[in-house]
Amino acid sequence: MKSELPLISVVITAHDRKKYLINAVNSILAQTLSRDIIEIIVVKNFKDQKIDEYLGREGIKNIFTEENSFGAKLAIGMKVSRGDIISFLDDDDSFTNNKLEVVLRNFKDNADLNYFHNSIQEMNEEGFTVRNMDIKKYQEHPIVLRSPIEDLSSLSKLSKFRGDWYMSCISIRRNSFISFIDFIGSTSASLDRILFIISLNLTGKIILEKGKLTRYRMHQSTTGISSEFDDYCNKKKAFFRRTLNSIKAAESLPVINNISKQYIAFQKVHNEANNMLYDVNSERLHRAGIFVSCMRVYCKLKDRIYLLISFFILLSIISPRTVIFMHYLYQNSRISF
């Protein structure tokens, strides 16, 4: 007999990388929810006999595409999905076995919930958890906010708890976002921020679940670590430029309210600052101007990440290479656990 529970679609995207994909899929197959209410969709730009045969045996929708951008792959998965709820998963991450159960419960208990975000567990390249927290401890007090968000205090709370960060932590109500599918498909970077911006303007609820239901893999592809210092800087600058372009494009969305415009302005400062930190040739006067902008955002949003960025900018005025190297060592220590 067909289940009366709403179907959850999990969209997994992969670009070139094959190493972790089956592990990501297996984390969905191991969910505490019944398999017959979970739809798994893999969108990737490669064919691999072993992987494709495995996906076929498990009844997984396997889509090959020549599209290079992350947004295009995401849009393809969303278009073919049949679920009332869509959860996203990067190919190198995984879900804890109760994640979809928690997601489903929240969407069932909140008929007007549009956007759900959970916290992460960090794991190293081999899949060993770096910090294993008690998930149940953090599930007791989720943050629930009603959108459209129209005040800075609510935006500050969402920002402090990183409700705008990381696709593998995000689940959405399909019908609320499907009208934005063309814009999503045209966006090449920072789709987490784009979905978050859209959610700020929808009528309904946003829930931030503090439970660490996503396992985030730390490795060279996620941190940009490489043996060449200049190559590392160039990768970081390219990433922040792509992110900045995506954020600027969001200004054209028809649903944008004043809080969303402020969030976009804050994100532009954030990414301009990060891009500048990795540009050793940036002039001191420019660094000073970005420092002032970051401090203004901090005073409005009270998000300490802008205070931290401001601190690094001050250090970079004295020695830009030292700041980059400090961050390089920090990232390397995280993936060498």
In tens, the pLDDT along 20-30 reads 999 999 999 99
Average pLDDT for residues 156-174, to the nearest whole number?
94
2 belongs to a structural domain: no
d(CA 194, CA 200): 10
What does DSSP assign to residue 130?
Answer: S
3 belongs to a structural domain: no
d(CA 264, CA 79): 26
Tokens 């599918």, located at residue: 181
> Residue 123 is which amino acid?
M
- Domain final residue, candidates 186, 218, 250: 218
> Residue 71 is which amino acid?
G
Q: Which domain holds residue 51?
A: 8-218
Domain check: are 201 and 255 in the same one? no
d(CA 227, CA 282): 23
Task: Specify the number of domains making up the chain.
Answer: 2
Q: Please, what is the average pLDDT of the chain?
A: 89
d(CA 197, CA 115): 11
Q: What is the pLDDT of residue 1?
A: 42
Domain check: are 202 and 86 in the same one? yes
268 belongs to a structural domain: yes
> What is the phi/psi pair of residue 30, to 5°?
-90, 10
- Whether 3 shows a pLDDT value over 90: the answer reads no
- Domain final residue, candidates 199, 218, 237: 218
- Domain final residue, candidates 218, 247, 275: 218
Domain check: are 281 and 323 in the same one? yes
Residues 6+ apart with CB under 8 A from 50: none
- Whether 336 shows a pLDDT value over 70: the answer reads no
The neighbour count for residue 322, using CB atoms within 10 Å, is 11
Q: What CATH number has the domain bearing residue 211?
A: 3.90.550.10
Tokens 């700020």, located at residue: 200
**C-beta separation of 60 from 127 below 8 A:** no
Domain check: are 295 and 206 in the same one? no
Domain check: are 205 and 229 in the same one? no
pLDDT in tens, 170-206: 999 999 999 999 999 999 889 999 999 999 999 999 9
Domain check: are 19 and 113 in the same one? yes
- Whether 335 shows a pLDDT value over 50: the answer reads no
